Chain A
Amino acid sequence: MTTSQPTISTNQTPAGNAMIELTNVGKAYRTDTIETLALQKMNLTVPSGEFLSIMGPSGCGKSTLLNIMGLIDEPSEGTVSLAGQRIEGYNGNAIARFRNEQLGFIFQSFHLINDLSVVDNVELPLLYRRMSGSERKRLSLEALARVGLSNRATHFPNQLSGGQKQRVAIARAIVGKPNIILADEPTGNLDSHMGDEIMDILLKLNEELGTTIVMVTHDERMAKKTHRLVRLSDGERVS
């Protein structure tokens, strides 16, 4: 566990318009007897506005890579820069604020809170910002409109289909207007029709808002719709 102070340095801006830049990033999980390398010497640059997909077999390090990009996991080695800011500490409030303002997450299993209505789920990231309740609600309804779920605002997650749940999760990811969206198998739990719907929404967001999207997927068909595909195997980038 790191003991470093959470800091975000802004004086080492990566070259060009890179939104995400990983340099020699490695991640090892250690127990008393075994060290497992989840990622090795990963170098990856994602320009602003790119829609990147990551593919690879199970256990190849896709989710670990996504977690490191999302600052919810810390690399064992290497450096991470997001939105022009080099990340040097991972446990403090500054990182939490950075995640809140710059990153949106979409998960395979949606991770909606069943005791909250759709609109209350969507406003979740805004709760950690200084913002009035009415402003939160306005932005949440706006995000729901963007994913075509305005009419479901007062419903609860257990009243929605899988595709609708994922659209709520997308609305939650974009409500804070982040520069980066990280999607971990967003179509993994959906049938192909619903998967296409979700993919269309993500593509539209990328086109219209210019949001940088990194998506982990097992579905070659979905990956082909994105700008670029990166393949991983045994923690290493193979293409």
Chain B
Amino acid sequence: MFSHLLKLMWNKRRANSLLFLEILLAFIVLFGVLGFCFFNLDRYNSPLGFEYENTWQVELDIPDDLDSTGNHQLQESILREIGSLPDVEDVAFLGPVTPFGGSTWRSGGEHNGQNISAMIMFPDEHYAETAKLNIREGRWFVAEDRIAKTATMVVNKAFLERYGSPGGSLIDTIMVYNGIDRKIIGITSDFKYHSNFARNEPLVFLFDRYLDEAEDPLEYLTVRVTPSAPASLEEDIYKRVALLTKSPDVTINRLANERVQANQPITIPMTIMVIISGFLLINIALGLFGVLFTQINRRRSEIGLRKAMGATGGEVTRQFILETLIVTLGGLLIGTFFAIQVPLLDLLPIDDKFFYWGILGSIVIILTIVMICALIPSRLASRLHPADVLHEG
């Protein structure tokens, strides 16, 4: 029967060419959208590595005219004052590179002849506790590291994977980074701060306790509050910080909101693409319905004939579903041929698996829709009575 239907569909290839083209185009679009979605969802699934719920970020304005002692005293006072507020669980200073802030500070170095390139953040010794970082190896900074003989740094897992030896450790390794020798004292788990969709890139935490590498004071506070913290806490923080810094320039943002905004460059186009693809699939479904209903109306006498010749209702249903599947599989086969060129020829710098998932996902979605759309008209065809339809044509 299958070879009979193949012949029939081949002989009707002109009539089926539009349906074939529609399936092919839908596959290509769906493949692109699914590949994009799978790629980004994979990134989304890799953890940020820090706490953003119930975490506020306070941007403050430390006076420029303070000497280093005055600056240290002011920062300690701010930590003490904010930390003492009810509903504040932890508080830490952070340099100009902040989670979801959109800024990047990148520097390089060298180790055993290997060039090192990584992003930098400037936390204080309280940041790991405040942001709930997971230290997988070694330790986080302590205040004494500021005066240690060799400068210290903590790196993330991506740094270890990029620059460490397989299965080895980088703890106590001394490497030149950003111009001076630094000893790695700790390695965090995954840590990425741009957004959930950001790549896991090598990152280095550098520590001076009060200053960043440009010797500017750390001007961001990370404040972790209790889940029941009232909105008035924002006002308390604002007042105390403004009083201590003698500046009204204090901005308080919730990291959870910042995260949503930081994700938007991906979530908005992804949503638009999914909606467009959804409409495309609805269009295909309606098109299929229309084509099948028209075909069945045109082929009523053929259906009657087949039933008179001994076809059961189930066999008629199967025939129409198989015919639709043959056209669909033709479109999917050609579509897969083109789609598979992307990973095979390395046309995009993205892991091949996302393209294969995209191909598989597109095939499954299109086949499912086609099966559902083919089933109803095919079942209607199977109910045609030969005595009625054989005398029509």
- Interface residues of A, Cβ cutoff 8 Å to B: 63, 67, 70, 72-73, 92-93, 96-97, 99-101, 105, 107, 109, 111, 113, 115-117, 120, 123-125, 127-129, 133, 172, 176
Q: List 11 A-B contacts (CB under 8 A).
A: A63-B391, A72-B385, A72-B390, A73-B385, A96-B307, A111-B302, A113-B305, A117-B7, A120-B7, A124-B309, A128-B311
Task: Tell yes or no: B315 within 8 A of A by CB.
Answer: yes
CB proximity of A59 to chain B, nearest CB, Å: 12
B393 touches A109 (CB 8 A): yes
Task: Tell yes or no: B112 within 8 A of A by CB.
Answer: no
Chain A residues near B315: list those with CB within 8 A. 96, 128
Contacts A73-B387, A115-B8, A124-B305 aside, 7 further interface pairs with beta carbons under 8 A come to A70-B308, A72-B386, A92-B312, A99-B309, A120-B4, A124-B306, A128-B309
Quick one: given A72-B390, A127-B1, A128-B311, are A116 and B306 in contact (CB under 8 Å)? Answer: no
Interface size on B, residues (CB 8 A): 26
Chain B residues near A109: list those with CB within 8 A. 393
Task: Tell yes or no: B114 within 8 A of A by CB.
Answer: no
Chain A residues near B393: list those with CB within 8 A. 109, 111
Chain A residues near B222: list those with CB within 8 A. none
B387 touches A100 (CB 8 A): no
CB proximity of B319 to chain A, nearest CB, Å: 9
What does DSSP make chain B's interface, helix, strand, loop or mixed?
helix
Chain A residues near B8: list those with CB within 8 A. 113, 115-116, 120
Q: A123: nearest residue on chain B (CB-CB)?
A: B4
Bound Cα distance from A41 to B287, whole angstroms? 49
Chain B residues near A111: list those with CB within 8 A. 301-302, 304-305, 390, 393
Quick one: given A107-B390, A111-B390, are A125 and B7 in contact (CB under 8 Å)? Answer: no
Task: Tell yes or no: B3 within 8 A of A by CB.
Answer: yes
Task: Tell yes or no: B314 within 8 A of A by CB.
Answer: yes
Map CB proximity to A onto B377-393 as digits: 1 under 8 Å, 0 otherwise.
Answer: 00000000111001101
A105 touches B308 (CB 8 A): yes
